[in-house]
Amino acid sequence: MNARLLAFVTCLLCLVLCAGVFVTSAESPPNHAQDVYDSILTHAQGDNTTQEWIDSALCAQAGTGAEWYILCLAQSSKDYDFSAYESALLTYLDQNTVSSATTRQKYALVLAAIGSTDAYIGKTADTTVGSLGIMSYAYGLHLTHNGYKTQLSENEIMQEILALQKENGGWAISGTTADVDVTAMVLQALAPHYGKDTEVTAAVDTALSMLSARQQSDGGFVSYGVPNPESASQVIMALCALGIDPVTDPLFIKNGNTTFDAIATFSLGDGSYAHQAGGAYSASATAQVLCAMTSYLRFSEGKAPLYDLDHARPDELQSAEHESESRAEFPVQEEHNELSYKPIACAIVIALGGIACIVLLILKKKHFKNFIAIGIAVALLLAAVIWIDVRLPEDYYHGEFESKPDAIGTVTLTIRCDAVPDLAEIDHLPDDGVILAATTIDLAKGETAYDILMQAARALHLHVDTTGAGEAAYVRGISYLYEQEHGDLSGWTYKVNDISPSVGCGAYTLSDGDEVVFEYTLTVGQ
């Protein structure tokens, strides 16, 4: 009897201990996510409180890098005052042209997340969906799910997205092979309809199988040939949005490793993250890891996904009147101090208009339509003088690289277009395809591949046509060679140390000794 009692007590103790282990395991991931979340904020805000950080550094970075941090803070369990940031972002949008539809959608989503009722949100939702491929559909679906009206219905957007699914189960910006990041972001948009719509559910399940197959043995993911934390973060966000626990679901555990384990290998130990293991700090990687942790914390607390915005107020937005219509619709030039020619040019235009009127009077052609025509011509010329910033080549192309007393090293830049067919027949391109041979350029702390390219353009009289700014900078053309000029998949890409980064050239921070190559390819995305 005593032996049986002892055995019973022993089994009971084992069960209690096991239960304790299971409880600890179940609670561990959320706690770990909270630790990572807190460490990223501590690193980013320094000695400031979070509110002070919002009102200072994040306001200063409004439109150029603060948006993911603001989104995460808005979707956290704490309440912050975002009025200063809202004002800063709207000022940025008033003063700058944002040509990328998906970037405008990102700004709209962030404004919605902080409870803004500015008309920019509704205008963006109504004019951008589908205008820039798969991602403009995905972000557009987020906007419709949060109650904002678009030119396409929610169901129409879903059908467009499903029609773009690749044969191997996922989605990509271009090409025939699905990309991990794009697939994960599309799944986040489709998540609210998973399990409710038969077609969406089938498409999502196929994509999940593809992502599971792409997961590496360390639990991470590879994009454009490079293991990185951004891809793993997007997968975490997708799984959480779909109600799948990335820590416990067997489909996303490889050799006992989860996506959290993989992300940890990119940690720099101070709350920041690198794009590549052993690399330097990456603002993009750190921000996306924060988004992943925010998503998992919301998931563990039973809250809606990250893009199911808590503070969105579309009803108020529809009736709000804000002078956002004045925001620039066309690219504007950089501001310059030396604009003294404009008053003189305006005076000349007005004088010419006056002379034309005198000539009409002398010729006795006094019909009012003649004077109206002159007035219209003068108005158009004045508008052209005011809005078009003309500079001599020597004002921009100064012929030498600027001195960098704070340089931390050097990088080399090469620009090639070998892939262009029949180079010998194109006058403005070199026969050997080398637009710029390897050139050594001083590197200052924090400079990106885009920064170095533009410095070379100014110093060496290179033609470079870009859109966007900061991390959203995009190269359309170099040396008058443009994207899609030699096929739908042709365009400019870049490599660093012979590796194609998974972030844009404006988001890739360079290190001493890096070798940067911008090259024209006929197979962008493959």
Q: Are residues 377 and 400 in the same domain?
A: no
What is the number of alpha carbons within 13 Å of residue 10 lying toward its C-beta? Answer: 6
Q: Are residues 277 and 298 in the same domain?
A: yes
pTM for the structure as a whole: 0.61
The model's pLDDT over 372-412, given as tens digits with 9 standing for 90+, comes to 888 888 888 877 767 665 544 444 444 457 778 888 999 99
How many separate domains does the chain show? 3
Q: Are residues 202 and 243 in the same domain?
A: yes
Please check the confidence at residue 246 and state whether its pLDDT lies above 90.
yes
Please check the confidence at residue 330 and state whether its pLDDT lies above 80.
no
At 16 the pLDDT is 35
Q: Are residues 302 and 185 in the same domain?
A: yes
Range of weakest confidence among 80-94, 208-222, 275-289: 275-289
pLDDT confidence bin for 247, thresholds 50/70/90: very high
Q: Are residues 511 and 479 in the same domain?
A: yes
For residue 490, what is the enclosing H or E element? none
Q: Are residues 414 and 300 in the same domain?
A: no
- Greater pLDDT, 16 or 519: 519
Any domain includes 69: no
Please check the confidence at residue 137 and state whether its pLDDT lies above 70.
yes
1-9 long-range contacts (CB < 8 A, ≥24 apart) are: none
Q: Are residues 452 and 380 in the same domain?
A: no
Please check the confidence at residue 459 and state whether its pLDDT lies above 90.
no
Any domain includes 87: no
Cα(368)–Cα(366) distance, rounded to whole angstroms? 6
Any domain includes 326: no
Please check the confidence at residue 462 and state whether its pLDDT lies above 90.
no
Q: Are residues 384 and 361 in the same domain?
A: yes
Taking the CA atoms of 21, 24, 27 and 28 in sequence, report the sign of the dihedral they define. negative
Q: Are residues 380 and 407 in the same domain?
A: no
Any domain includes 446: yes
Report the pLDDT averaged over residues 326-334. 39
Q: Looking at this protein, which amino acid is placed at residue 120? A: Y
Q: Are residues 367 and 399 in the same domain?
A: no
Any domain includes 227: yes
Any domain includes 319: no
pLDDT confidence bin for 522, thresholds 50/70/90: confident
Please check the confidence at residue 255 and state whether its pLDDT lies above 90.
yes
At 332 the pLDDT is 34
Q: Are residues 225 and 183 in the same domain?
A: yes
Range of weakest confidence among 26-40, 41-55, 125-139, 161-175: 26-40
At 159 the pLDDT is 95
219 phi-psi bin (left φ>0, alpha ψ -120 to 50, beta other) = left
Query: What pairing do the DSSP bridges indicate for beta strands 407-416 and 226-228?
Result: unpaired
Cα(438)–Cα(113) distance, rounded to whole angstroms? 45
At 30 the pLDDT is 57
Give the helix, strand, coil percentages of the chain, each rounded to 5. 50, 10, 40
At 208 the pLDDT is 97
Cα(113)–Cα(143) distance, rounded to whole angstroms? 11
State the chain's mean pLDDT as an integer.
Answer: 83
- Which residues constitute the domain of residue 503? 395-521
CATH number at residue 458: 2.170.130.30
Which residue's structure tokens are 């180079």? 423
CB atoms within 10 A of CB 458: 16
CB atoms within 10 A of CB 198: 8
pLDDT confidence bin for 333, thresholds 50/70/90: very low
Cα(368)–Cα(126) distance, rounded to whole angstroms? 42
Q: Are residues 206 and 271 in the same domain?
A: yes
CATH number at residue 194: 1.50.10.20
- Greater pLDDT, 283 or 112: 112
**Where among 258, 290, 308 does a domain terminate?**
308
